[in-house]
Amino acid sequence: MKVHAPATVNEACEMLARAAAEGRTLRPLAGGTDLLVHWPSKSAAHEGEYLDLSGVSELRPLVWRDDALVLGALTTYWDVVREARVAAELPLLNAAARQVGAVQIQSRGTWAGNIANASPAADGVPVLMAYDAGVALRSSGGERVVPLSAFYTGYRASVRRPDELITAIEVPIRSRDVAVFHKVGPRRAQAITKIGVAITRLAGSGADRWRIVANSVAPTVVRCREVERLLDSGARITSAGGFMPALQADISPIDDIRSTAAYRRTVMGRLLYHSLLGACSSVV
């Protein structure tokens, strides 16, 4: 195993570029809460090469711009929990952060690691996607910002090239009149999500106001675009079942060790119905 310890983003990108050019896999290491699980038994992983980001102080800060909250790639859940302004202005980030693992995971786990790990059960991703977040990807060739909703291409696959580092997550600050996050798991702490949903609605009139983002019900975290269209159309939905035709098109849950497809579908309908009943009585 080899651990590379860059001090700057430029150095990190050069290391990634060199590895990519030479056909070597160089894996970024942030909080380690995904990569280091059962580490002593993962001897194959020890053969690999890692890019330890912990010394890259440029990646640390969480910064408020006029129009966006920018989470540097090393921003942890706990950084967000401690930032009172997040709870006030982007409450779903606070809600999700507090429900990831427990404090020991929140203090180390990063939002960027959650995105890059690309688990369909990731809890940080739905709330970021419901806030229209963008992922800043940097390589030695330059930077691009990809909407998180266009980041995943399939199960554990994304548009991130091996020579690209996630340097930041940009969360635009816009006025929203609905913001709900639900995580259904076997217990409150240290639980992997069976079904989760993040819901927002932009304030005002206009079209394209709803964001419905679900986790653990498809190969990736997904925007439920049919449900969004249904809600944007102003349709009145009077039961959980009223969401089902749209949900059928949006989600494709499976039976696995954590739950069943049927349970996930049923509960997703009910989560939507009851969330919107509480959050926005004009819909149902």
Q: Which residues bind other proteins (CB under 8 A)?
A: 1-7, 29, 31-33, 36-41, 46, 52, 54-55, 78, 81, 98, 101-105, 107-108, 188-190
Judge contact between 142 and 151, C-beta under 8 A. Answer: no
Per CB under 6 A, which of residues 176..205 are in contact with ligand FAD? 190
Q: How far is the CB of 226 from ligand FAD (least distance, A)?
A: 25
Does the protein bind ligand FAD through residue 16 (CB under 6 A)?
no
Expressed in percent and rounded to 5, the helix, strand and coil fractions of the chain are: 35, 25, 40
| CA contacts within 13 A on the Cβ side of 4 | 19
Q: Which of 90, 95, 166, 199 binds ligand FAD (CB under 6 A)?
A: 166
Q: Which of 19, 92, 95, 112 binds ligand FAD (CB under 6 A)?
A: 112
What residue type is 214 in one-letter code? A
CA distances from 279 to 227, 243, 282 (A): 16, 16, 9
Does the protein bind ligand FAD through residue 34 (CB under 6 A)?
yes
Q: How large is the greatest C-alpha to C-alpha distance in the chain, in angstroms?
A: 58
Joined together, the tokens standing for residue 259 give 């739950």
Q: Which of 91, 101, 162, 219 binds ligand FAD (CB under 6 A)?
A: 101
Stretch binding ligand FAD (CB under 6 A), from 82-90, 116-124, 249-257, 266-274 = 116-124
**Residue owning tokens 């640390």:** 60
Does the protein bind ligand FAD through residue 29 (CB under 6 A)?
yes
What residue type is 283 in one-letter code? V
The number of beta carbons lying within 10 Å of the beta carbon of residue 48 is: 15
Residues that bind ligand FAD (CB under 6 A): 27-35, 37, 53, 73, 100-101, 105, 108-110, 112-114, 116-117, 122-124, 165-166, 190
